[in-house]
Chains A and B, each alone.
Chain A
Amino acid sequence: MHNAKCTCWNCPAIDLAGKVDFRACGQSTKQFVKAADDTEETRIMGECKRRPELGLFDPMDMTFAECTEYAPGPYGYMLRDMRVMILGIDGYLGWTLALWLGSLGCKVSGVDNYNRREWVKERGAQTIVPISRMNERLRAAREVLGLNIDFRQIDIYSERDRFKEFVDEVKPESIVHYAECPSAPFSMIDVEHAIKVQENNVLGTLATLFTMRDVVPETSMVKLGTMGEYGTPLTGRPIFEGLFPADAVLQWEGREWSLGGEIVPRDPASFYHVSKVQDTFNCYEACKYWWLRSYDVMQGVIFGVDTDQVSADPRLRTRLDIDEWFGTVINRFVAQAVAGIPLTLYGMGRQIRGFIALRDAMECMTRLICSPPEPGQYAVVNQVSGIYSTRELAYIVAKTGREHFGLDVQIQRVENPRVEADEHPFEAIYERLPKEFGFAPQVALEDEVRKMFELFLTDEVRARIEERRQVIMPKTWWSGVKREVERLELLDLQGEIEEDERMFKINR
């Protein structure tokens, strides 16, 4: 099992406070000379918060596999009844993860300020998969899955005192930070929206980091970043996992330096993406200053509707947005296909991105939660299971809609309202989750797309898509212009699909 040899050094149940001279290295000479005078006492020692009877011990001496507080599970050794707090628990990912982790035996708590509901409502949009109020959702989780989720309505930034009290009360052993506005177009509407997004994301993250420092410094933070932070470098250089490997070198004027461990360049593509980059730096600094530990998850574009838990009962479904602001591309394509709107490729439609299905994302997150970083470690994973161009995705959705559901699906190229390269090289590295955390993607894109069609074609969901047709076509331009994009071309689908399949065969 991937984390069998992790030790108490990695475990959030270890209490290192006041027992470890973390400041000794990389600080002043005076401090480390002082440490040398008193060698035994400055050794790393800890106490287990779950097993106080162990007293003071060397945290490297016991592995997860040896500890009675850990049990083997499908995603690695996991702390029994692990306390996990999800920030943004009412969202698409947050709710799904809450049910997923609860079903694995975690004690799940969560906060939400309902901003996502407000923002979607404000745009005149709605989740096409109906979701009820939080009280109803919690009751359904209890009735159907037997889960007791400890929920509070809190804004982690503006109500940070209340948030701190809640964290202190729960003492989470992992904090999953999903409490961010995930929309690029929403941040580009106007100054008010740009401020709203940056305030929510940047200040919420900052408040969380300070809270963790003060209350739960050994807890790991699994924070959701985005592959969009990196941009799409036109040089075609690899998009590494957050930090450069040691063999990446900079050559200049005949000299050479290793870039190992330096943060890789970011090239955000909206004010939302800028906020995510700022979060990355805030997390990186907090780990450096305060010995917090964090996985920064650079997630590819998410899609899908299915996990065992959210599909178990209509009342447990997670939200799904298909509007121009909060809908992600595959989810939108399927909704467009159902609504009879030709799938919208922006510009050339040759933007290449990393993608991951909802179920696979939950598995990755669980593996990260099970295997926390070491104290002070800021680590990054690129959470991606496949790479596609938007054009390829449109063909897959169109083909599925036509062949399996008898829909007359068209594809159109429209003006690109964004400022981005719509044809570019892309080489993302996504090796850490498979190699270090044992992740293997379980979801085939075509299968998930079929499940989405099945759900979207139910009477209720289809009606909800129809009700909000007007928010599907993009009207938010990065330039500030507000008008619906115009069609550039309707694609000859049959010819294109044949060409595409030919290319697939060449590439695979």
Chain B
Amino acid sequence: MSACLRLTDDNFLEEVLDAEVPVLVDFWGSWCPPCKMMEPVVDALAETFAGVLKVGKLNVDRNPATRSQFEVSAAPTFILFQDGEVSMRAIGARSHKQLVELINRALGRREAAPQRVVAVHTASQASGRTQLEVSTI
């Protein structure tokens, strides 16, 4: 289950602009392949930064007012809001590591990127059969 907030034109003020903690917003569209591929990364960010910031997703087609207010014309667009102001903005797909770095920089945090457990696929050489291993990056 996603730990992300479902943001809308109706709750954006309360959940994002008036929020007491920083909020990362993923502006996404169902027609956008990079947005779809970002879903697990964005979900992981919510866990990575639990207690530090909130992560929310806003569908750009369903929420035209917010989309227009922040002039989002490409998806995915990631905007970090702090005290109702834009403190970081990135367009296009990013790896988990890249987004962590961008967010940490915007927040003025110096600590190393938190670790994240990911599934890594390896194939046995002889048969090419795929096995699932878990490792940490």
Contacts and interface: CB of A to CB of B under 8 A. Distances in A.
B136 interface: no
Given A36-B65, A261-B35, A389 B127 contact: yes
Using C-beta atoms within 8 Å of the partner chain, give the interface range for chain B.
35 or more
A254 B124 CA distance: 31
A379 B95 CA distance: 20
Contact of B75 (A25, A42, A379): A25
Given A236-B123, A291-B31, A378-B33, A44 B73 contact: no
Contacts of A26: 29, 32, 73-75
Interface string A218-246: 00000000000000000010100001111
A24 to B, nearest CB: 6
Contacts of B130: 387, 427-430
Contact of A260 (B37, B123, B124): B37
A352 B128 contact: yes
Interface string A353-379: 000000000000000000001111111
Interface residues of A, number: 60
A25 B60 contact: yes
A245 B31 CA distance: 16
A506 interface: yes
Contact of A376 (B30, B73, B122, B125): B30
A109 B41 CA distance: 41
Contacts of B92: 258
B95 A507 contact: no
B67 interface: yes
A262 to B, nearest CB: 7
Say whether chain A's binding surface is mostly helix, strand, loop, or mixed.
Answer: loop
A94 to B, nearest CB: 28
Interface stretch (A27-35, A123-131, A455-463, A475-483): A27-35
Nearest to A353: B128
Contacts of A39: 9, 64-65
A39 B63 CA distance: 8
A375 B34 contact: no
B121 interface: yes
B11 interface: no
Nearest to B66: A36
A56 interface: no
Nearest to A238: B121
Contacts of B117: none
Contacts of B68: 32-33, 35-36
A426 B128 CA distance: 5
B95 A389 contact: no
B61 interface: yes
B73 A377 contact: no
B61 A25 contact: yes
Interface string B40-64: 1100000000000000000011101
Interface in A315-344: none
A260 B62 CA distance: 23
A377 B33 CA distance: 7
A506 B131 CA distance: 13
Contacts of A287: 31
Contacts of A25: 29, 60-61, 67, 72-73, 75
B126 A503 contact: yes
A413 B64 CA distance: 63
A259 interface: yes
A243 B127 contact: no
Contact of B64 (A24, A246, A258, A291): A24
Contacts of B17: none
Given A35-B68, A246-B96, A256-B98, A262 B34 contact: yes
B34 A35 contact: no
Interface string B81-95: 000000000001111
A9 interface: yes
A256 B94 CA distance: 10
Contacts of A143: none
B98 to A, nearest CB: 6
B108 to A, nearest CB: 22
Given A35-B68, A44-B62, A389 B128 contact: yes
Contacts of B118: 247
Contacts of B72: 25
B93 A259 contact: yes
B135 interface: no
A258 B98 contact: yes
A425 B37 CA distance: 25
A425 B121 CA distance: 13
A263 B93 CA distance: 13
B105 interface: no
Contacts of A291: 31
Q: Which of B60, B95, B97, B122 has the most CB of A within 10 A?
A: B95
Interface of B: 9, 29-38, 40-41, 60-62, 64-65, 67-69, 71-75, 92-98, 118, 121-130
Interface pairs A-B: 3 shortest CB-CB: A376-B31, A261-B34, A260-B93
Given A25-B72, A39-B64, A427-B128, 9 more contacts: A25-B61, A32-B73, A35-B67, A246-B96, A258-B95, A374-B31, A376-B31, A378-B33, A388-B127
Interface of A: 9, 20-22, 24-27, 29, 32-33, 35-36, 39, 42-44, 60, 236, 238, 243-249, 256, 258-263, 287-288, 291, 352, 373-379, 387-389, 392, 425-430, 503-504, 506-508
20 contacts: A20-B61, A22-B31, A32-B64, A33-B68, A35-B68, A36-B65, A246-B38, A246-B95, A258-B92, A258-B95, A258-B98, A260-B41, A260-B94, A261-B35, A376-B29, A377-B30, A377-B36, A378-B33, A387-B129, A507-B129
